[in-house]
């Protein structure tokens, strides 16, 4: 029988980070203690830390067969299956662990993440709530709850909790505060004050959330927005009362009487799903510039011009199958197809040329140029990229081919975007993509 002294020695070695030494000792001890669940647990945990997943799973399963109430093993197995994408099995192990250790907030957090991944949002919220009851300082559970509330369209509670996205204790926080002291938390008394606002989380979020800034201007505030350089010209044209700069540096001497990250505009204006402003479109280009772009690029005046977006603007790997399927379904008399992708690869260019698709995306310098291209399209079809968001911001009819892992802004079962009335959502996966593309293309060809 394994004595306490050996167990303490094993724990000490493992906790000191000597993983291989601890594993070898546990294997040696197994020779005389072959039915000790604790040894298999140590071996399995060591293999897990060494990223030998199958060996980890084998030893942890053996440990659990010897002791069905081994909480640590249940947690590790739950984590393993979560990592593999088997969220249902992961939730099962976490649930068993929760029964054995009902005061462990981390287990309930894990249960929440598993159910959230399964899109079982109500149960996920309940598990996060339990975790927060046990540990009121559980920032991750509050933050994950905000993502669910936002996806469900409960913006009043969601955006309030979503401010935790820049909390110092949140690991891998998606937003960094530009200035260390607390951001603005009310729109009261902002008249004649200079407010610094700054971009966060990519171009698409700037496109979506810039719509809230006019509300601050209407209250008499002077707004200065640090913005990504590709958007500066487009936003400056549309909002002459706001100062835009991509060169702001917090180390330089700046005088502001308030600040907040851009997405907090939704929180500060107390937006609700039915009161999102400017859902019909709020960005535009100069008509003469649009006409000049049309003539320069020989965009046709007859028929329906449809722009396609099948890859990200920068380094996203293109999908030739997706591209071919979109083009095949768009082919019809009177339909002119234009590629808006920035960097098609060799195979994609061949597909475009074979099908007579004109490529517009490669010579567009910034998002004002991209908006010029969009202004000359009658409709857009594509995946979730900043350009698709820009289509919505311009009120351009668009069919969004939305993958299984989608941003909260598109809702859970929504077929129309709450943020852009012109965008219709088509859920797409490996099994239904042909059917979904056919449905989407048929709709925008009309």
User: Does the pLDDT at position 313 exceed 50?
Assistant: no
- The pLDDT, as a whole number, for residue 425 is 95
In this prediction, residue 314 carries a pLDDT of 41
Tell me the residue length of the chain. Answer: 446
Are the C-beta atoms of residues 417 and 347 closer than 8 Å to each other?
no
Read off the pLDDT of each residue in 91-100 and give the average, rounded to a whole number: 97
Predicted pLDDT at 430? 76
Percent of the chain topping pLDDT 70: 97
Q: What is the pLDDT of residue 399?
A: 95
Q: How confident is the model at residue 2 (pLDDT cuts 50, 70, 90)?
A: low
Single out the residue of 230, 225, 211, 216 nearest to residue 282, CA to CA: 211
* Model confidence pLDDT, tens digit, residues 378-405: 999 999 999 999 999 999 999 999 988 8
The pLDDT confidence band at residue 221, using thresholds 50, 70 and 90, is: very high
Q: Residues 386-418, buried b or exposed e (16+ Cβ, 10 A)?
A: bbbbbbbbbbbbbbbbbeeeebbbbbeebeebb
pLDDT digits (tens, 9 = 90+) for 327-339: 999 988 889 999 9
Q: Which residues contact 20 (CB under 8 A, 6 or more apart)?
A: 46, 50
CA angle 174, 178, 179 (to 5 degrees): 130
Pick the CATH number of 4-166 from 3.30.300.30, 3.40.50.2020, 1.25.40.10, 3.30.499.10: 1.25.40.10
Per-residue confidence (pLDDT) for residue 263, from 0 to 100: 97
Q: How confident is the model at residue 365 (pLDDT cuts 50, 70, 90)?
A: confident
Partnered with residue 305 across adjacent β-strands are 336
- Can you tell me which residue has the tokens 């197994």? 30
What pLDDT is attached to residue 250? 66
Mean of pLDDT values over 248-266 = 86
The confidence band for 157, taking pLDDT boundaries of 50, 70 and 90, is: very high
- Domain positions in the chain are 4-166, 194-275, 287-445
Say what the pTM is: 0.90
- Provide the pLDDT for residue 344: 83
Helix 37-49, helix 71-83: angle, nearest 10: 30
Instruction: Report residue 75: phi and psi, to 5°.
Output: -65, -45
The model's pLDDT over 105-133, given as tens digits with 9 standing for 90+, comes to 999 999 999 999 999 999 999 999 999 99
Per-residue confidence band for 188, with pLDDT thresholds at 50, 70 and 90:
very high
pLDDT at 316: 37
Return the closest-CA partner of residue 192 out of 249, 141, 265, 256: 256
- Mean pLDDT, rounded, for 204-215: 97
Task: Give the residue-averaged pLDDT of 146-152.
Answer: 96
Long-range CB contact pairs, 380-383, < 8 A, 24+: 380/306, 380/307, 380/308, 380/309, 380/340, 380/444, 381/306, 381/307, 381/308, 381/309, 381/326, 381/330, 381/440, 381/441, 381/444, 382/307, 382/308, 382/309, 382/310, 382/340, 383/309, 383/310, 383/311, 383/322
Q: Which of 11-25, 222-236, 413-427 has the lowest mean pLDDT?
A: 11-25
pLDDT for position 112:
98
Whether 138 shows a pLDDT value over 50: the answer reads: yes
Which of 29-38, 67-76, 327-336 tops mean pLDDT?
A: 67-76
Query: Given this model, what pLDDT does residue 317 score?
Result: 42
Structure tokens at 76: 């590790």
84: number of Cβ within 10 Å = 12
Domain 287-445, architecture per CATH: 3-Layer(aba) Sandwich (3.40)
In the predicted model, is pLDDT for residue 1 greater than 70?
A: no
State the CB neighbour count (10 A cutoff) for residue 300. Answer: 13
Asked whether residue 280 carries a pLDDT value surpassing 60, the answer given is yes
Average pLDDT over residues 209-238: 96
Q: Chain-wide mean pLDDT for the chain?
A: 91
Task: Please tell me the predicted confidence (pLDDT) of residue 315.
Answer: 38
pLDDT score recorded for residue 312? 58
């Amino acid at each position: 029988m394994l004595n306490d002294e050996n167990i303490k020695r094993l724990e000490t070695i493992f906790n000191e980070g000597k993983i291989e030494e601890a594993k070898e000792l546990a294997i040696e001890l197994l020779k005389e203690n072959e039915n000790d669940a604790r040894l298999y647990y140590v071996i399995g945990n060591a293999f897990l830390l060494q990223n030998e997943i199958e060996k980890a799973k084998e030893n942890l399963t053996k440990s659990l067969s010897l002791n069905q109430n081994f909480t640590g093993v249940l947690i590790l197995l739950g984590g393993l299956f979560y990592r593999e994408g088997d969220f249902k099995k992961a939730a099962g192990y976490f649930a068993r662990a929760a029964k054995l250790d009902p005061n462990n907030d981390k287990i309930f957090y894990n249960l929440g993440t598993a159910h959230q991944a399964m899109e079982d949002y109500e149960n996920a919220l309940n598990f996060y709530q339990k975790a927060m009851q046990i540990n009121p300082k559980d920032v991750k559970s509050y933050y994950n709850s905000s993502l669910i509330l936002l996806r469900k369209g409960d913006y009043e509670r969601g955006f309030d909790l979503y401010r935790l996205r820049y909390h110092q204790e949140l690991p891998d926080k998606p937003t960094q505060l530009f200035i260390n002291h607390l951001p603005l938390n009310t729109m009261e008394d902002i008249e004649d004050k200079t407010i610094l606002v700054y971009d966060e989380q990519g171009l698409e979020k700037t496109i979506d959330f810039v719509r809230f800034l006019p509300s601050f201007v209407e209250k008499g505030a002077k707004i200065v927005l640090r913005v990504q350089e590709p958007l500066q010209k487009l936003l400056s044209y549309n909002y002459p009362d706001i100062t835009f700069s991509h060169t702001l540096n917090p180390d330089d001497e700046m005088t502001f009487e308030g600040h907040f990250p851009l997405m907090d505009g939704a929180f500060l204006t107390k937006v609700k799903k039915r009161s999102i402003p400017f859902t019909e479109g709020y960005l535009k280009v100069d008509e003469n510039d649009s006409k000049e772009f049309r003539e320069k690029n020989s965009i046709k005046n007859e028929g329906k011009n449809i722009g396609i977006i099948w890859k990200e603007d920068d380094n996203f790997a293109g999908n030739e199958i997706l591209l071919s399927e979109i083009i095949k379904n768009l082919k019809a008399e009177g339909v002119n197809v234009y590629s808006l992708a920035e960097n098609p690869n060799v195979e994609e260019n061949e597909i475009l040329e074979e099908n007579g698709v004109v490529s517009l995306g490669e010579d567009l310098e910034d998002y004002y140029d991209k908006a010029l291209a969009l202004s000359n399209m009658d409709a857009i079809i594509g995946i979730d990229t900043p350009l698709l968001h820009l289509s919505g911001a311009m009120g351009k009819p668009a069919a969004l081919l939305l993958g299984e892992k989608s941003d909260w802004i598109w809702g859970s079962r929504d077929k129309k975007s709450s943020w852009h009335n012109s965008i219709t959502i088509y859920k797409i996966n490996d099994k239904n993509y042909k059917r979904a593309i056919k449905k989407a293309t048929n709709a925008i060809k009309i």
